[in-house]
């Protein structure tokens, strides 16, 4: 894909070369993310960071990524602080805010809304999550994390990956984007573990099969995580249900803890989760007793979000090759 000036709305825009390009630039961002070097490559540029749903990681890491490249961040958080609450359309909002910004990141509760916004924007727009549809930057940072974790184990190839996805696969946009991304690789085994009512959408399962992947579906976690490289857990997406009571029917169905891990998983299985994990004891899809497990990658995964989002900004704003020239050591 042509990165320069492009919207990033879906993971389907990327091919394998694009992924490698993002990962190569992300690798080069490490000294900047660690504050060992400072770059001003985006000095004077402004990010419009618009989040109409709650977020900790995506909002803050996109903002940090832009700051670390030398740019400024202007935030809108929640409909109530936006003129959308007064009836302004996405079209008008996009026309106006794209006059104030060089790039916009947007999260919105309605599937397709970020693409609608982007169509009216005069600057590149990145999808920070649109309803239950997609979360492309999360899929990129997830795959970047998988690659790094496997490299740490001495494995270099994403082809042949074995991954289990556990939880709310119907509404979880991170697993939707990750499945689409895995279709670019070869011989992947995808084990989909969810309650029957919260299965991965059939269209995505079909995409995995069309890519030649092995797909197994189950509603039981324990036996299904015994032969995977990655156990990727997700929370029940309460905000997509008709009521919290309906979400309660499924919360706590799959609870991975150290005892289950020791008993069922291979010794090197990497545990991932896009976060937030639900820390209420009755829900608790990843128990705190996993916190000392060296294969728990959830915080490395969140850290990698800054690197990948720096790479996306650098590529989209066409400064990837100038980052080091505009830099100094700390």
Residues near ligand CP (CB under 6 A): 55-59, 129, 138, 274-276
Residue 135 annotated to the active site: yes
User: One of 135, 147, 170, 255 is an active-site residue; which one?
Assistant: 135
Q: What is the DSSP code (8-state) at residue 99?
A: T
Q: What is the DSSP code (8-state) at residue 201?
A: P
User: One of 7, 59, 76, 107 is an active-site residue; which one?
Assistant: 107
Cβ pair 169, 196 in contact under 8 A: no
Distance of CA 205 to the CA centre of its chain: 19
- Which residue's CB is nearer to ligand CP, number 70 or number 129? 129
- Which residue's CB is nearer to ligand CP, number 39 or number 138? 138
- Which residue's CB is nearer to ligand CP, number 60 or number 115? 60
Q: What is the DSSP code (8-state) at residue 216?
A: E
Q: How far is the CB of 55 from ligand CP (least distance, A)?
A: 3
- Which residue's CB is nearer to ligand CP, number 57 or number 95? 57
Q: How far is the CB of 302 from ligand CP (least distance, A)?
A: 8
User: One of 2, 86, 280, 328 is an active-site residue; which one?
Assistant: 86
Residue 281 annotated to the active site: no
How many of the other CB atoms lie within 10 Å of CB of 314?
25
Residue 316 annotated to the active site: no
Residue 57 annotated to the active site: yes
Q: How far is the CB of 61 from ligand CP (least distance, A)?
A: 8
Q: How far is the CB of 290 from ligand CP (least distance, A)?
A: 18
State how far the Cα of 124 lies from the Cα of 99, in Å rounded to an integer.
12
User: One of 39, 58, 145, 269 is an active-site residue; which one?
Assistant: 58
Q: How far is the CB of 103 from ligand CP (least distance, A)?
A: 18
State how far the Cα of 6 lies from the Cα of 81, in Å rounded to an integer.
28
- Which residue's CB is nearer to ligand CP, number 110 or number 260? 110
The residue behind tokens 């857990």 is 233
- Which residue's CB is nearer to ligand CP, number 71 or number 129? 129
Residue 189 annotated to the active site: no
Q: Could you give phi then psi for residue 122, rounded to 5 degrees?
A: -95, 0
Closest CA to 209 of 200, 218, 221, 219: 200
For 122-180, give the DSSP string: SS-EEEEEETTTB-HHHHHHHHHHHHHHHHHTT----TT-EEEEES-TTT-HHHHHHHH
How many of the other CB atoms lie within 10 Å of CB of 52?
23
State how far the Cα of 45 lies from the Cα of 206, in Å rounded to an integer.
42
Q: How far is the CB of 128 from ligand CP (least distance, A)?
A: 7
User: One of 21, 28, 37, 57 is an active-site residue; which one?
Assistant: 57
For 244-280, give the DSSP string: HHHHHTTTTSS-B-HHHHHHHS-TTPEEE--S----S
Q: Which positions are annotated as active-site residues?
A: 57-58, 86, 107, 135
């Amino acid at each position: 894909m042509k990165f320069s000036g492009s919207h990033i709305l879906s993971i389907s825009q990327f091919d394998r070369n694009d992924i490698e390009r993002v990962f190569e630039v992300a690798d080069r961002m490490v000294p900047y993310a660690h504050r060992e070097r400072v770059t001003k490559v985006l000095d004077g540029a402004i990010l419009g960071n618009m989040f109409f749903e709650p977020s900790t990681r995506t909002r803050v890491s996109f903002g940090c990524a832009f700051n670390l490249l030398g740019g400024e961040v202007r935030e809108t958080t929640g409909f109530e602080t936006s003129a959308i609450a007064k009836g302004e359309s996405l079209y008008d909002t996009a026309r106006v805010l794209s006059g104030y910004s060089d790039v916009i990141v947007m999260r919105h509760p309605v599937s397709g809304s970020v693409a609608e916004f982007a169509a009216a924007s005069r600057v590149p727009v990145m999808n920070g999550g649109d309803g239950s549809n997609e979360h492309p930057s999360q899929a990129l940072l997830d795959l970047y994390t998988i690659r790094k974790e496997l490299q740490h184990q001495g494995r270099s190839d994403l082809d042949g990956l074995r991954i289990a996805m556990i939880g709310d696969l119907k509404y979880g946009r991170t697993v939707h984007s990750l499945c689409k991304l895995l279709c670019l690789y070869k011989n992947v085994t995808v084990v989909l573990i969810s309650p029957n009512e919260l299965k991965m959408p059939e269209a995505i399962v079909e995409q995995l099969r069309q890519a030649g992947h092995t797909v197994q579906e189950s509603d039981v976690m324990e036996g299904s995580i015994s032969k995977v490289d990655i156990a990727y857990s997700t929370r029940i997406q309460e905000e997509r249900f008709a009521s919290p009571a309906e979400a309660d029917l499924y919360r706590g169905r799959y609870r991975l803890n150290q005892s289950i891990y020791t008993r069922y998983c291979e010794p090197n299985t990497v545990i991932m989760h896009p976060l937030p994990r639900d820390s209420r004891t009755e829900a608790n899809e990843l128990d705190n007793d996993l916190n000392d497990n060296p294969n728990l990658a959830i915080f490395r995964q969140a850290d990698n979000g800054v690197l990948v989002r720096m790479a996306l900004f650098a590529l989209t704003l066409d400064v990837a090759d100038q980052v080091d020239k505009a830099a100094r050591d700390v």
